[in-house]
Structure 1
Amino acid sequence: MARTGSVIDWLLASDPAIRWQVMRDLTDAPEAEWRAERARVETEGWGARLLSHQDADGQWAGGAFMPADYTEKKWRELGQAWTATCFSLQQLHDFGLDPSSARARRTVDLIGRNSRWDHDGQPYWDGEVEECINGRTVIAGAYFGVDVSPIVARLLGERQPDGGWNCERCNGSHRSSFHSTINVLEGLLEYETAVGATPETRAARAAGEEYLLKRGLFRRLSSGAPADERYLTFLHPNRWRYDVLRGLDYFRAASLATGSPPDPRLGEAIGHLRSRQSEDGTWPLDWQLKGPVWFEMEEAGKPSRWITLRALRVLRWWEGHAGR
């Protein structure tokens, strides 16, 4: 692993949304310093830019999951839009907008009062019906201080027999998916971080983790072949999509939250992550999801600060436990 000073400098010469995480996760800066940097997310760079697109009623693009004016014709031509409220909140969480800030508290309140899900008009913080969407709603709600325990209870009751989750459950699916499972696992972990774990959330996370670990984070259980070649490529933002780096980043966060060591079964995925590092010490952004966004942060095919940050902190965590 070539984590040179020049790569760290390159990461630090970036947006506050990346810089504060580099300070916390890679340079061990004092908490007061990285928190001060995180506070800049609201007023500078990508965070401020995204907040500038917020509607007066607290939403983005006039809708919870879809922009208010987004037609089926636009979807077919342009792809799914990533500008509505749920995806904007997901990015603000990724950026690290301070959840205790007045802007964050006002946003949470306005969305609770004004935003309704496209599915059946459910209040935003009550959740929807798809596990992927509800997992991400739990992430945002728990992070920004909303009581999302009813959504968590629903997710706990929707686990598949093989341990994970699948948004197609309502259509009769009895097998889990990598995509749905990682969204729910991240939500449950964020919930436990915010309000504490319960025996039920621990058991559900353990089952979902086992689903991924049995498959080496990317393989079919039946044949051992990659379940999807794109699981081995990296994108950001992931939105609802799974990839190996997203899986590893989750296991890192869970390990740090619980004090548990890395599972040895992550080794193959770690090896793949190392193999994708470029000679200059960075990782590329392999691809991006089709569809309108408020703004582009990086260009596919080029070195990615987001991917490099996430990869370096995963490897730092993994190597920190080597030989123990």
Structure 2
Amino acid sequence: MHRVLSWLLGGDVSIQYQTHRDLLQSEGMLLEHLQQRIETEGFGSQLLSARNTSGHWGLWYYQPKWTSTHYTLCDLKSLCLAPSNLIAAEMVERALSECQLPDGGLNFAKSNLPSDMAVNGMFLEYASYFCPKDSRLSPLVSCILTHHKRDGGFSWDNESLTSDPHTTLCVLEGLYSYMCSTRNAESVGTIIDAALQWLYERNLCIGEDRRYTRLAFPHRYRYDLLRFLEFAARADIPWNENIEKAVTWLVNKQLDGVWNLELVHPGKVHVQFEPVKQPSRFITLKALSILNFYASDSKTAAKAWNMFVRETDAGAFT
């Protein structure tokens, strides 16, 4: 077996699960077994065990930042904790009961403030995964859609006339997750297209901020090119020239068949997933999954993906 594939399969059980799902297209029983182990082993178990007696992680839904309930649920979703997990579902339901405003948005601020569209988008993304049938998600979506900016994107600042990339991508992920859970593309499909067009018109924000072109995990609320490409592949966004530029950037980041973790957003955390400036299983898995998805349209992606396949035991992909 190729050293990179073997290295991925030697990682945390969440990495093993995603490698079998996204790269090897393994059969359902194996995937189910691996996913169920995430809550009892490794990073998933560590995050779940950090929950305190109030039911929260940290102090409350958004306090303090990365160790709060909100960001812990983001991390658990990112690790692919089983959607049937009762702890995650309980806290999503509590958040809706305790923090949903009359307009449908969420206020995690413990003060009389309007909801933040970036937080709404992030919450919608994991809430649609853990509690897809909760009827309270519909007014949350309606709230988000009423804050769609004329330029096509979204902003955390409700008074702003222009969008920002962070909020726009948070909302894109949330709307797509909701669309998948409800199987209803009509209500959000055109909004997703408009937000994508806003990012394309901005050249995917390449060059606007150096942090956008550094490989980060977890991405938190921040926009970056890897996060965009991961969303694009997951949402079946067709290849285009903007995506080709981003794919080329991603391939050029490769070092001896793997990708390094270049950035960890600073702050106290429950779990330090991987060391910065070292080869990253999380980043490498995301990169290979993206290249696999776009290999049929992008010569750049195809060349990099086919090299990985050729150097791997051919039987692994049959």
Amino acid in the other structure paired with 1:249: E
Deviating more after overlay: 235-244 vs 314-323: 314-323
Amino acid in the other structure paired with 2:150: P
Deviating more after overlay: 297-306 vs 101-110: 101-110
By how many angstroms is 1:156 displaced? 0.7
Deviating more after overlay: 182-191 vs 57-66: 57-66
Q: Matched residues in 1 for 2:275 and 2:182: separation?
A: 37
Offset from partner CA, 1:130-160 (integer Å, 9 cap, x none): 1110001101111111341111111111111
Corresponding residue for 2:45?
A: 48
Equivalent residues of 2:85, 2:130 under 8 A apart = no
The match for 2:196 among 205, 209, 213 is 209
Query: Which residues of structure 1 form unaligned runs of 5+?
Result: 68-80, 220-225
Corresponding residue for 1:301?
A: 277
Equivalent residues of 1:58, 1:111 under 8 A apart = no
Amino acid in the other structure paired with 1:316: N
Q: Matched residues in 2 for 1:55 and 1:112: separation?
A: 20
Q: Matched residues in 1 for 2:98 and 2:201: separation?
A: 42
Q: Matched residues in 2 for 1:21 and 1:273: separation?
A: 19
Corresponding residue for 1:278?
A: 255
Equivalent residues of 2:44, 2:81 under 8 A apart = yes
By how many angstroms is 1:236 displaced? 0.3
By how many angstroms is 1:175 displaced? 1.2
Corresponding residue for 2:311?
A: none
Offset from partner CA, 1:237-257 (integer Å, 9 cap, x none): 0000111010011110110xx
Q: Matched residues in 2 for 1:306 and 1:206: separation?
A: 28
Cα 1:85–1:233 change in 2 (3 A) is same
1:250 is aligned to 2:231: yes
Equivalent residues of 2:244, 2:298 under 8 A apart = no
Q: Matched residues in 1 for 2:156 and 2:150: separation?
A: 14
Query: Which residues of structure 2 form unaligned runs of 5+?
Result: 101-106, 303-318
By how many angstroms is 1:128 displaced? 6.1
Corresponding residue for 1:163?
A: 152
Q: Matched residues in 2 for 1:154 and 1:299: separation?
A: 39
Q: Matched residues in 2 for 1:268 and 1:113: separation?
A: 43
Equivalent residues of 1:63, 1:84 under 8 A apart = yes
Equivalent residues of 2:169, 2:223 under 8 A apart = yes
Amino acid in the other structure paired with 1:308: T
**Structure 1 counterpart SS, 2:38:** helix
Query: What is the percent sequence identity of the aligned residues?
Result: 30
Q: Matched residues in 2 for 1:109 and 1:190: separation?
A: 17
The match for 1:58 among 55, 58, 69 is 55
By how many angstroms is 1:290 displaced? 1.1
**Structure 1 counterpart SS, 2:259:** coil
TM-score normalized by the length of structure 1: 0.84
Q: Matched residues in 1 for 2:8 and 2:218: separation?
A: 17
Q: Matched residues in 2 for 1:92 and 1:211: separation?
A: 29
Offset from partner CA, 1:263-313 (integer Å, 9 cap, x none): 34311111000000002x110111111110012011111111111110110
Equivalent residues of 2:260, 2:279 under 8 A apart = yes
5 Å matches for 1:1-324? Answer: 5-67=2-64, 81-112=65-96, 117-120=107-110, 129-145=115-131, 146-147=134-135, 148-168=137-157, 170=158, 172-219=159-206, 226-255=207-236, 261-279=238-256, 281-322=257-298
Q: Matched residues in 1 for 2:185 and 2:285: separation?
A: 31
By how many angstroms is 1:109 displaced? 4.2
Equivalent residues of 1:11, 1:18 under 8 A apart = yes
Q: Matched residues in 1 for 2:184 and 2:197: separation?
A: 18
Amino acid in the other structure paired with 1:216: N
Amino acid in the other structure paired with 1:22: T
Corresponding residue for 1:73?
A: none
Equivalent residues of 2:152, 2:163 under 8 A apart = yes
Equivalent residues of 1:131, 1:180 under 8 A apart = yes
Equivalent residues of 1:58, 1:110 under 8 A apart = no
Equivalent residues of 1:98, 1:104 under 8 A apart = no
Q: Matched residues in 1 for 2:47 and 2:205: separation?
A: 33
